[in-house]
């Protein structure tokens, strides 16, 4: 798929994602405790996640009939293919259920082994972040770039606390202690897709987290890359979409951040 075709597909996908985000926004505060399911420790889901995913799958199947899907809620057959949509219909479900205004729809398109299209729609602020391969990164029609910060000491760093798997806790706390003393501050919003979008537009200088799934990060990593940022796993390699350990940062602070997460996790 060439750049022009990707741009057109991205525009159409943005319209679909916007409609699904409108649905999600309309359900805020309406989900009672009896309608919440526990998938695993501290992993929640409701009819909102599942309905949003079904709507995305239906619309994306029309836009790209030959495509397959990898989705968080598994409402469709999970399969590989030349074109695979990677979907988190509601990243930040716990925030949504507690009416904390940081949750998003995340949709990425993977062509063979490469992410070529990514959309993160931050629901409450009506912010649609989108990118396609070699097309730059955008927010509501305006080009975005990562920050120009060139020192870790001047950085605002985002992260995600372990909430289900705790075997990395000791290494994580070592990393946090260092960053608390050597950066401008740390933030934890509870939605990796939003964190990555904020790195792409320069609100955060860096983001790192353990235990992430592909649907949490696939769209966001393309946003960061197309906005001029850098992404890797904790070893500086490229196993960050499926490997569960992700670092994304503005180019001026990436090397410093990589040294921190690499050395503290040995």
Q: Are 214 and 117 part of one and the same domain?
A: no
- The count of domains in the chain is 2
Domain end point (choices 144, 160, 194): 144
Q: Are 135 and 13 part of one and the same domain?
A: yes
SS3 249: strand
Which domain covers residue 59, as residue numbers?
3-144
Cβ(60)–Cβ(107) below 8 Å: yes
Q: Are 46 and 96 part of one and the same domain?
A: yes
Model confidence, pTM: 0.94
Which tokens go with 50? 């599942």
Q: Are 7 and 47 part of one and the same domain?
A: yes
> Do strands 68-71 and 83-91 pair parallel, antiparallel, or not at all (unpaired)?
parallel
Domain end point (choices 110, 144, 178): 144
CA dist., res. 163 & res. 260, Å (int): 22
Would the pLDDT of 35 be above 80? no
Q: What is the DSSP secondary-structure string of 93-130?
A: HHHHHTT-S--EEEEEEEETTEEEEEEEEETTTTEEEE
pLDDT of residue 40: 57
CA dist., res. 161 & res. 157, Å (int): 13
The CATH number covering residue 100 comes to 3.30.540.10
Q: Are 234 and 260 part of one and the same domain?
A: yes
Q: Are 81 and 171 part of one and the same domain?
A: no
Q: Are 10 and 97 part of one and the same domain?
A: yes
Q: Are 158 and 117 part of one and the same domain?
A: no
Q: Are 185 and 139 part of one and the same domain?
A: no
pLDDT of residue 148: 98
pLDDT of residue 42: 46
Q: Are 173 and 258 part of one and the same domain?
A: yes
* Percent of the chain topping pLDDT 90: 80
Q: What is the pLDDT of residues 57-94, one digit of tens each?
A: 999 999 999 899 999 888 888 999 999 999 999 999 99
Q: What is the pLDDT of residues 228-247, one digit of tens each?
A: 999 999 999 999 999 989 99
Q: What is the pLDDT of residues 146-191, one digit of tens each?
A: 999 999 999 999 999 876 667 778 888 999 999 999 999 999 999 9
* CA torsion, ordered 184, 161, 234, 219, to nearest 10 deg: -90
Q: Are 134 and 10 part of one and the same domain?
A: yes
Would the pLDDT of 31 be above 90? no
Q: Are 139 and 156 part of one and the same domain?
A: no
Domain end point (choices 128, 144, 160): 144
């Amino acid at each position: 798929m060439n750049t022009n075709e990707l741009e057109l597909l991205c525009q159409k996908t943005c319209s679909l994602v916007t409609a699904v985000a409108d649905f999600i926004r309309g359900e805020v505060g309406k989900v009672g405790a009896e309608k919440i399911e526990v998938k695993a420790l501290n992993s929640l889901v409701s009819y909102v996640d599942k309905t949003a995913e079904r709507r995305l799958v239906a619309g994306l199947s029309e836009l790209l009939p030959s495509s397959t899907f990898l989705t968080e809620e598994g409402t469709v057959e999970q399969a590989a293919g030349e074109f695979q949509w990677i979907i988190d219909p509601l990243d930040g479900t716990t925030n949504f259920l507690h009416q904390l205004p940081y949750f998003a729809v995340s949709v990425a398109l993977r062509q063979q082994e490469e992410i070529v299209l990514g959309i993160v729609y931050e629901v409450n602020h009506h912010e649609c972040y989108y990118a396609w391969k070699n097309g730059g990164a955008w927010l509501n029609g305006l080009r975005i770039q990562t920050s120009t910060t060139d020192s870790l000491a001047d950085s605002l760093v985002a992260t995600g606390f372990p909430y289900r798997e705790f075997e990395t806790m000791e290494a994580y706390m070592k990393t946090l202690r260092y960053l608390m003393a050597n950066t401008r501050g740390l933030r934890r919003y509870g939605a990796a897709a939003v964190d990555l979008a904020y790195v792409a537009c320069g609100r955060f200088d860096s983001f790192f987290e353990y235990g992430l799934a592909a649907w949490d990060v696939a769209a966001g990593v393309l946003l960061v890359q197309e906005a001029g940022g850098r992404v890797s796993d904790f070893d500086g390699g490229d196993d960050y979409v499926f490997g569960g350990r992700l670092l994304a940062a503005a180019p001026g602070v990436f090397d410093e951040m990589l040294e921190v997460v690499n050395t503290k996790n040995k």
